[in-house]
Amino acid sequence: MSKDPIKITIGLGFAGVLALMGLISFISLSQMNTTTEQMTALLEQTNAKISAANTMRDSIRLRGETLYNMYLTDDFIERDELRIQIAEHALRYKVARDVLYSFHMSAREAKLLDQLMKQTRSAKALNDTTAENMLSDLPRNIIINDLRLANTARLNMLTGLDELVLLQETNTSTIIEETRQEKETIGHIILFLSLAAFFIAVYIAQLVIRETSRKNFEIHFQATHDELTKLVNRKEFNHRLMDAFKTARENQQHHALCFLDLDNFKTINDSCGHKAGDKLLIQLTRLIKKNIRSHDTLARIGGDEFGLLLEGCSLDKAIELAEGIVNLVKNYEFVWQHKKFHVGVSIGLAMITNETKSIETALSYADIACYAAKDMGRNQVQIHGLDDERIKNMQKELSWVADINNVKSKDRFSLFLQAIEDLKDGHTASKYEVLLRLNDDGKIISPGSYIPVAERFNLMGDVDKWVIEKTFKHLAGLYSSAPDCDVLLFINISANSLTDQKFADFVIQQYKKHNIAHDAVCLEISESKAVKNLHQTAELITTLRRYNIKFSLDDFGIGITSFSYLKNLPVDYLKIDGHIIKNISQSTADKAMVAAISEVGRVMNIETIAKHVENIFTLNQLKEMGINYAQGFYLEKPREINRRIDSIKESLLKRSVRH
């Protein structure tokens, strides 16, 4: 017998079905016996009714005979004794009638008994009257007339009782015949169904067992492979990585792990649609599979990201295969609707040896190397562990970010505020952007160098929470000193927070914890991240806007479809991308873009903020185009948050003194 658990389960299941059918048959037969017993009880009840009716009929006859005997005798004493017998017969009648009434009656029976009850009252009255008259001195003709009337009443009662008895006999015969037919029919049906179920179950069992192997393979394939490319999926890839990790530990084998990330794939998706992107993925994966070894594993682990496990492979051979894949993809010409496209691939390579700490470590190394390959120009292979300074720096920065909640690492991070100036009235700034800085032995590390890769490794969520908590503490201190201040702080949040279902709850908890006004904070989301996570962004905005929390779209204007997303994202501010702002003096297109954004913001009641304002000429042009706010080094450089808060307090104090 096959040891396949699915086949065993199916076999046992059908055995259970057969056993159940046998049990059903047994229960059905038992039910038939119960029905028979019920019919027997009903017949006994019917016989009891007939017996009671016969007793009533005998009592009526005896009462009539006794009344006639009273008429025949001239002895008054004997007549009185016979009158007592009539009362005894009436009592027997009443007892039998009460027995009859104690049983359940059909509609027909109830009607007959109702008629009989009326006749009984009439006959009793006539009998009693006739008997009393016989004991009196009434004329003979009156007594004879009474006898005649009483006799007629008795005959009517006997006729009714005869009809009732006949009805009971008819019911009895009908019940017996119906019970017999029902038992016979049920027996045939049960036998037929049992045989049919048996043969059907046997047939299905054979059919299912025969098909199980094929279906089992299909189910396993679907569970372990990507639906589009038919490559191994992430789950199965991790399983094979674990096997490779064990052989590296136990048998001193060397394996190579590669992360592949297609370059410029998004361009094809955006310009030609997802159907074209899917077609390209299928073609490229087929091409790559033809140029790797048969026992190597190529897996799709994301949209345009792939994993490659080269088992039993040296570093030199792995580099050779990876470089070959880069050349294949780079030289591949994709044609869609008579248009030609070229993409590239960045590959990160990490070796799995007996010194590899864990699968997670190997995955992290390959992913960092892949990101470094993209950062260093794309279309190339980067190998982890070859002392590349860029990879080392990236690892160091990631370690700082990952260690954000470690007490020893907190001094590496600091918060700054940069003022956002109102271009309409020129009042003292009340809006500031919160900026995060990473310190490396006195050297300030730009967020642009570590935030993208930190987001890739899902590390920025904790950083966002750290920034929010620190900012709220500073705000709480400011509000305690100046409860009426109208400061609004813009806080950037990462893509990791957008996809974190608990992030909104965290923000609300921090508001309650520090007891600050909800409208004191505006969460700032990069347009590209918002568009990439449109559903999550809209859901986050909808949830937090119930608490009067504001939102801003950062780096707005980069995408060619920027305006189309605004109707789905109810934001309060648009921060125009700094590259566009820098070029409005030299580029009429950028200037037109800024003017268009200003007009759209005005129509949709969304205020606009220009970033990276670096000279007076740019500032004046922004004012002319109706931009609401501006920030940049020309207006003010970022200042450390403690100093900025102190400055705000002083400004508020001076204002209160003047007033």
* Structural tokens at position 297: 């594993």
Sole residue written with tokens 């136990």: 250
Distance CA 310, CA 308 (A): 6
Residue 434 CA to residue 639 CA, distance in Å, equals 10
First to last CA, the chain: 96
CA 192 → CA 24, 186, 188, distances in Å?
A: 13, 10, 6
Cβ atoms within 10 Å of 116's Cβ, excluding its own: 22
Burial class (CB in 10 A: 0-12, 13-18, 19+), 185: exposed
Query: How many angstroms separate the CA atoms of 92 and 56, rounded?
Result: 7
Q: Look up residue 220 and give its DSSP letter.
A: H
**DSSP string over 212-261:** HHHHHHHHHHHHHB-TTT--B-HHHHHHHHHHHHHHHHHH---EEEEEEE
340: left (phi over 0), alpha (psi -120 to 50) or beta: beta
How far apart CA 236 and CA 16 sit, in angstroms, is 35
Q: What angle do CA 313, 315, 319 make, to 5 degrees?
A: 100
Q: Which residues pair with residue 348 across a beta bridge? A: 259, 382
Structure tokens at 68: 């006639």
Cα separation, 635 vs 349, whole angstroms: 46
Placement of tokens 């994993």 in the chain: 307
| Cα 395 from Cα 454, distance rounded (Å) | 10
How many other CB atoms are found less than 10 A from the CB of residue 275? 10
Q: How far apart are CA 493 and CA 275, in angstroms?
A: 32
The Cβ of residue 618 has, within 10 Å, a number of other Cβ atoms equal to 21
Rounded distance between C-alpha atoms, residue 138 and residue 610, angstroms? 133
Q: Which two tokens stand for residue 78?
A: 């004997």
Using DSSP, state whether 264 is helix, strand or coil: coil
Under 8 Å between Cβ of 319 and 383: yes
CA–CA separation, 255 vs 651, rounded Å?
64
What are the residues facing 143 on neighbouring strands? none
Distance (Å, whole) CA 460 – CA 453: 9
The whole-angstrom separation of Cα 40 and Cα 213 is: 56
Active site residues: 304
460 Cβ neighbours under 8 A, 6+ residues apart: 401, 451, 454, 494, 495, 496, 497
Measured distance CA(100)–CA(168) in Å, rounded:
12
Q: Tell me which residue of 430, 493, 439 sits closest to 467, measured CA to CA.
A: 493
d(CA 196, CA 192): 6
Rounded to whole angstroms, how far apart are CA atoms 537 and 515? 25
